[in-house]
Amino acid sequence: MDYEKLTSVMRRLALDAGDKIMEIYNSDDFEVKSKSDESPVTAADEAADAIISAGLRAEFPDVALVTEEQSDSHNQSVDTFLIVDPLDGTKEFINRRGDFTVNIALVEAGVPTRGVVYAPAKDRMFYTLADGTTVEEMGPFAKEAAGETKAIKVADSDNSALMVVASKSHRDQATDDYINKYAVKDSKSAGSSLKFCLVATGEADLYPRLGRTMEWDTAAGQAVLHGAGGKVVVFDGHAPLQYGKEGFANPFFIAFAPAVDLKA
Is 123 known to sit in a ligand binding site?
no
Sign of CA dihedral 187, 85, 15, 220: positive
Determine if residue 101 is labeled as part of a ligand binding site: no
Was 68 annotated as part of a binding site? yes
- Closest to 53 in 3D by CA, of 68, 39, 42: 68
Contact 190, 168 (CB under 8 A): yes
DSSP code for 140: S
Residue 88 annotated in ligand binding? yes
Q: Could you give the CA distance from residue 260 to residue 204 in angstroms, rounded to a whole number?
A: 11
Report the alpha-carbon distance of residue 239 to residue 255 in Å, rounded: 12
**DSSP H or E run through 230:** none
Q: Answer yes or no: is 198 a known binding residue.
A: no
19 is in an annotated binding site: no
Euclidean distance between CA atoms 258 and 189, whole angstroms: 21
Q: Read off the amino acid at residue 158.
A: D
Residues 6+ apart with CB under 8 A from 196: 117, 207, 218, 221, 222, 224, 225, 230, 232, 255
Computed on alpha carbons and rounded to an integer, the radius of gyration of the chain in Å comes to: 17
Q: Is 37 annotated as a binding residue?
A: no
* Annotated binding-site ranges for Mg(2+): 68, 85, 87-88, 217
Residues in the annotated binding site? 68, 85, 87-90, 217
Binding-site residue ranges for substrate = 68, 87-90, 217
